[in-house]
């Protein structure tokens, strides 16, 4: 923590409390790693520092990091954000925490306790919820785009398979990339197998329903909202993230399709 | 509207809501927001389906706008980030079928289909984004820039 004396008589020259700096960075990191828009992160960092009496704060956030300058630049905090997932529950949790800190202004050490509580919070839904909801969502979307009951059932099956396989994959981006690719691959395999066994099943419907929950919807939405606030750096980064996830999904789909087209389906269109 | 058509509409509306809730649960959305996510998915379908004869872009734009309106209001009421409702809500509007056709075209050498459907999917995603942005901008303007939380000046942090 750098503290430099200024020439002025005011004892404002003392740098900010290290605990406050830590709290601001922890909350900012939490929000970013849950997938928050960067403007929200910058705004929250400034508000928390304001709540502790620091009126001269500036924050700069990108999806992979956060910089905050305290007390007119007498101290600067930086946090690199490595583990990024898209977790709406944690997003709401960190948002609640930030709001509580600003309203109650607890001693910074108490704030640090709250941070530990949020970090330690477990999964909000039981383990069976993911495959069940994936099945329901896939089937519903298949129906929505005009699929029949058998096609919806196959899409539901691929949802269960994909979720059961990737439970615990974690949020590291490389793993999420393979998650999307494996999901696309599995959806096509199940669609092709189903079409082979059951007459009248259109594989295209099964695959469309099977991959809908793997689409980078959250990254794309956050990208739009980032650009909406004029934050083009974050918007571009997130658009790219959405694009890469979509490409991974496409790779899985394309690989399975090209493998199957000649062998199982005799060259007919999927 | 005939009874059969009405029944089909209810089915599609329920399917849209289910898709949104499923995504919300998979992304660990707070339980108290799940019903709003269902509402957002419903709004997506209800705003886009009746004008589907207009092609792709206009219904999707309107759907995106409707979801964003629901999300902005719900976020302010429930005190959650807008993204928690917005992201699940737009899911029924994603250009899944087009994107898939495009990918398949690339994989199998059908480049004309790949390019056509790929561009259509891009337009689709673009109008969805425009719908989200339009209502988002209005919401920002209505909300205004709130002043920072009041503090007594010169109060330093409590030290442990």
pLDDT at A111 over 90: no
Q: Which chain A residues have a beta carbon less than 8 Å from that of B11? A: 143
Instruction: Let me know: does A27 contact B129? Beta carbons within 8 Å.
Output: no
Q: What is the mean pLDDT of residues A93-119?
A: 90
Q: Is the minimum CB–CB distance between A12 and chain B shorter than 8 Å?
A: yes
Percent helix, strand and coil across chain A, each to the nearest 5: 65, 5, 25
Q: Band of the pLDDT at A182, cuts 50, 70, 90? A: confident
The pLDDT, as a whole number, for residue A230 is 81
Q: What is the mean pLDDT of residues A242-250?
A: 84
**SS3 category, A61:** strand
The pLDDT, as a whole number, for residue A179 is 80
Instruction: Let me know: does A146 contact A205? Beta carbons within 8 Å.
Output: yes
Distance CA A24, CA A40 (A): 13
Token pair for A175 = 């793993």
Sequence-separated (6 or more) residues with CB below 8 Å from residue A60: A42, A66, A67, A68
Q: Which chain A residues have a beta carbon less than 8 Å from that of B16? A: 140, 144
The pLDDT, as a whole number, for residue A37 is 86
pLDDT at A265 over 60: no
Q: In what order do the strands lie in the sheet with A75-80?
A: A58-62, A65-70, A75-80
Q: What is the mean pLDDT of residues A210-227?
A: 81
Query: What are the backbone angles phi and psi of residue B68, rounded to the nearest 5°?
Result: -65, -40
Q: Which residue of A has its CA nearest to B108?
A: A258
Instruction: Let me know: does A76 contact A66? Beta carbons within 8 Å.
Output: no
Q: Please identify among residues 180-219 of chain A the ones whose CB lies closer than 8 Å to any CB of chain B.
A: 204, 207-209, 211-213, 215, 217-218
pLDDT at A91 over 90: yes
Q: Which of A53, A130, A221 sits opposite B132 (nearest CB)?
A: A221
Most A-contacting residue of B81, B118, B133, B137 (CB-CB within 10 A), to test interface: B81
Q: Which of A50, A107, A137 sits opposite B158 (nearest CB)?
A: A107
Distance CA A201, CA A204 (A): 9
The pLDDT, as a whole number, for residue A29 is 94
Most A-contacting residue of B11, B25, B143 (CB-CB within 10 A), to test interface: B25
Q: Mark yes or no for CB contact A16/B157 under 8 Å.
A: yes
Q: Is the minimum CB–CB distance between A263 and chain B shorter than 8 Å?
A: no
Q: Which residue has the tokens 């099977």?
A: A210
- Tell me which H or E stretch contains B29: none
Token pair for A92 = 């709401």
Token pair for A166 = 């990737």
Q: Mark yes or no for CB contact A253/B107 under 8 Å.
A: yes
Instruction: Let me know: does A77 contact A24? Beta carbons within 8 Å.
Output: yes
How far from chain centre, in Å, is Cα A261?
34
Q: What is the mean pLDDT of residues A171-194?
A: 81
Instruction: Let me know: does A205 contact A142? Beta carbons within 8 Å.
Output: yes
The pLDDT, as a whole number, for residue A156 is 94
Q: Which residue of A has its CA nearest to B86?
A: A221
Q: Which residue of A has its CA nearest to B91?
A: A217
Q: How far is B1 from chain A, CA to nearest CA, in Å? A: 19
Q: Which chain B residues have a beta carbon less than 8 Å from that of A209? A: 96
Instruction: Let me know: does B127 contact B54? Beta carbons within 8 Å.
Output: no
Rounded mean pLDDT for each run of 10 residues along chain B, 160 residues in total: 83 93 92 94 90 83 95 92 91 82 79 88 85 89 59 38
Q: Is the minimum CB–CB distance between A170 and chain B shorter than 8 Å?
A: no
Q: Mark yes or no for CB contact B18/A17 under 8 Å.
A: no
pLDDT digits (tens, 9 = 90+) for A225-240: 788 778 888 888 888 8
Classify residue A85 by burial, with Cβ atoms within 10 Å: 0-12, 13-18, 19+: middle
Q: Mark yes or no for CB contact B84/A224 under 8 Å.
A: no
Task: Please count the other Cβ atoms lying within 10 Å of the Cβ belonging to residue A230.
Answer: 8
Q: Is the minimum CB–CB distance between A50 and chain B shorter than 8 Å?
A: yes
Q: Among A207-211, A266-270, B126-130, which is the least confidently predicted range?
A: A266-270
- Comparison of pLDDT for A180 and A137, the residue scoring more: A137
- Tell me which H or E stretch contains A79: strand A75-80
DSSP B151: -
Instruction: Let me know: does A106 contact A18? Beta carbons within 8 Å.
Output: no
Q: Which residue has the tokens 């970090």?
A: A119
Q: Band of the pLDDT at A167, cuts 50, 70, 90? A: low
Q: What is the mean pLDDT of residues A27-35?
A: 92
Mean of all residue pLDDT scores within chain A:
83
- Comparison of pLDDT for B144 and A72, the residue scoring more: A72
pLDDT at A132 over 80: yes
Q: Which of B84, B140, B156 sits opposite A91 (nearest CB)?
A: B84
Instruction: Let me know: does A89 contact A176? Beta carbons within 8 Å.
Output: no
pTM: 0.84
Q: Which of A35, A212, A270 sits opposite B19 (nearest CB)?
A: A212
Question: A109 vs A98, B10, B96, CA distance in Å?
Answer: 14, 52, 48
Q: Among A38-47, A244-253, B70-79, B93-102, which is the least confidently predicted range?
A: B93-102
Q: Which of B27, B101, B157 sits opposite A17 (nearest CB)?
A: B157
The pLDDT, as a whole number, for residue A264 is 53
């Amino acid at each position: 923590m750098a503290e430099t004396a200024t020439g002025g008589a005011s004892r404002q020259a003392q740098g900010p409390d290290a605990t406050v700096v830590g709290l601001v960075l922890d909350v900012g990191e939490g929000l970013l790693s849950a997938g928050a828009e960067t403007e929200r992160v910058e705004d929250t960092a400034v508000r928390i520092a304001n709540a502790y009496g620091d009126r001269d704060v500036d924050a700069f956030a990108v999806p992979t990091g956060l910089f905050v300058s305290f007390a007119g630049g007498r101290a600067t905090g930086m946090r690199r954000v490595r583990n990024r997932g898209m977790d709406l529950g944690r997003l709401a949790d960190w948002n609640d925490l930030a709001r509580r800190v600003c309203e109650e202004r607890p001693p910074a050490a108490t704030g640090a306790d709250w941070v530990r509580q949020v970090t330690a919070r477990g999964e909000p839904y039981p383990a069976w919820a993911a495959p069940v909801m994936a099945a329901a969502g896939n089937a519903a979307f298949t129906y929505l785009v005009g699929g029949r009951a058998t096609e919806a059932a196959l899409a539901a099956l691929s949802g269960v398979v994909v979720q059961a396989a990737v439970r615990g994959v974690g949020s590291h981006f490389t793993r999420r990339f393979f998650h999307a690719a494996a999901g696309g691959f599995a959806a096509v395999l199940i669609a092709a197998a189903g079409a082979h066994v059951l007459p009248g099943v259109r594989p295209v419907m099964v695959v469309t329903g099977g991959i809908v929950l793997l689409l980078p919807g959250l990254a794309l939405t956050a990208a739009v909202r980032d650009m909406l606030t004029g934050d083009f750096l974050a918007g571009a980064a997130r658009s790219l993230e959405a694009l890469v996830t979509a490409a991974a999904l496409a790779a899985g789909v394309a690989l399975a399709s090209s493998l199957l087209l000649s062998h199982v389906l005799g060259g007919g269109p999927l | 509207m005939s009874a059969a058509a009405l029944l089909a509409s209810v089915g599609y509306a329920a399917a849209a809501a289910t898709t949104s809730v499923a995504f919300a649960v998979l992304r660990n959305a707070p339980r108290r927001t799940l019903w709003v996510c269902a509402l957002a998915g419903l709004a997506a379908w209800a705003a886009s389906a009746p004008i589907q004869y207009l092609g792709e872009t206009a219904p999707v734009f309107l759907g995106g706008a409707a979801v964003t309106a629901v999300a902005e209001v719900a976020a302010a009421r429930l005190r959650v980030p807008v993204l928690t409702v917005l992201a699940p809500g737009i899911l029924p509007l994603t250009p899944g079928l087009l994107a898939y056709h495009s990918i398949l075209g690339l994989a199998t050498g059908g480049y004309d289909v790949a390019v056509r459907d790929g561009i259509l999917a891009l337009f689709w995603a673009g109008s969805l984004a425009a719908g989200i942005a339009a209502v988002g901008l209005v919401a920002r303007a209505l909300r205004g820039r709130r002043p920072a939380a009041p503090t007594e000046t010169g109060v330093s942090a409590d030290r442990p």
